[in-house]
Structure 1
Amino acid sequence: MKLIDNITRYVAYFTAIILALLVLLVVFDATSRYLFSEGSTALQELEWHFFDVVILLSIAFTLRHNAHVRVDIFYTKFPEKLQVLINIFTAIFFIFPLSFLIIYIGTGFVEMSFVQHEASSDPGGLKYRWIVKSLMPLAFVFLLLQAFKELVSDIKKWRSL
């Protein structure tokens, strides 16, 4: 279980680096566009791809730190045993099925993109669209691993309450 937390942590470090690079890229792009009237389609698409990395690879980290979106106005008022039961229920009936579905369908999209040599339709855009598309199933593999670890922890916690 420690291995899963370590994977999630290192993916989060990588995501933080990409986020810092995204900030620098946006500043550079905006400066070159507004001060020098020079723009680049490839730079704008790279910004979108970096944003995809940040969002998708942060999902498991968010689950690990219990910072995901839910209706906390009700959840926080529930007894701890009910909160843990809700976590178990949502992992089994929502996170696992959704993750498996996205991994299954997403892998097909990545494969099709790779085989077709999919690239940006914009002149000067980025090639190898399959790379960014591969983040979708990969992100949900990480989420699935983290959800499994959290499920095991929640079951232990529920039994001890």
Structure 2
Amino acid sequence: MPVLTNILKQIDRLSEWSGQIGKWAALLLVLVGTYETVSRQFFNAPTIWAYDTLCMAGGVTYLLGASYAYLHNAHTRVDLIYSHLSPRGQAITDVVCALLFFFPLMGVMFYMAVSWAIRAWMIDEVMFNSFWYPPSGPYRTVFALGLLLLVLQATAKFIRDIHFVLRGERLD
């Protein structure tokens, strides 16, 4: 068990690290948005790069923050029944829902994200929402990485839930 516990803690550290990077992308989002607004409204000088930068920074914030939010149980949940269950009942519900819904959906999304990232690098794809045309490979790679980190964190939680259901004790 010490090896497994160590692996789970390493996954948790990755999610913490991912959340820290995500918060800096959120700061970039605010700074670029502010710059674009002031530039456009007060100086009548809009940029060609702000829109794509805002989209990419928002996506990075969301994607790298997903595993962090999962680690801290901060995702939105419809909690009509779940909160009334015992801790073991909650763990069983989490295991069943992960197997039926989360892992199949994330498997498809991760497969598609990796495919899109590889394709973007192979064809030198660019984003065409503005006249800036930044390369899309880096963003698509971060997208796939964010999904990978989310799946890793979900796997860590899944293992902890299985352990709790079977043994009745929390696995740190």
Same fold (TM over 0.5): yes
Aligned-partner residue type, residue 56 of structure 1: L
Aligned-partner residue type, residue 40 of structure 1: T
Q: Does 1:91 align with 2:102?
A: no
In the comparison of the two structures, how many residue pairs are matched?
161
Q: Does 1:127 align with 2:134?
A: yes
Question: Residues 1-161 of structure 1 correspond to what in structure 2 (within 5 A)?
Answer: 1-122=8-129, 124-159=131-166, 160=168
Aligned-partner residue type, residue 104 of structure 1: Y
Q: Distance in 2 between matches of 1:137 and 1:123?
A: 23
**Overall identity of the aligned pairs, in %:** 22
Aligned-partner residue type, residue 125 of structure 2: E
TM-score by length of 2: 0.86
Secondary structure of the structure 2 residue equivalent to 1:72: coil
Give the 4+ runs in structure 1 shifted more than 4 A. none
Mind listing any 5+ residue stretches in structure 2 that lack a counterpart? Answer: 1-7
Q: Structure 1 124/6 Cα, relative in aligned 2: closer, same or farther at 3 Å?
A: same
User: Given that residues 64 and 146 in structure 1 are in contact (C-alpha distance below 8 angstroms), is that contact kept between their aligned partners in structure 2?
Assistant: yes
Aligned-partner residue type, residue 81 of structure 2: F
User: Given that residues 119 and 125 in structure 1 are in contact (C-alpha distance below 8 angstroms), is that contact kept between their aligned partners in structure 2?
Assistant: no
User: Given that residues 60 and 142 in structure 2 are in contact (C-alpha distance below 8 angstroms), is that contact kept between their aligned partners in structure 1?
Assistant: yes
Deviation at 1:13, TM superposition (A): 0.6
* CA deviation vs aligned residue, 1:48-74 (integer Å, no higher than 9, x gap): 100000111111111111121221122
User: Given that residues 18 and 67 in structure 2 are in contact (C-alpha distance below 8 angstroms), is that contact kept between their aligned partners in structure 1?
Assistant: no
Deviation at 1:31, TM superposition (A): 0.5
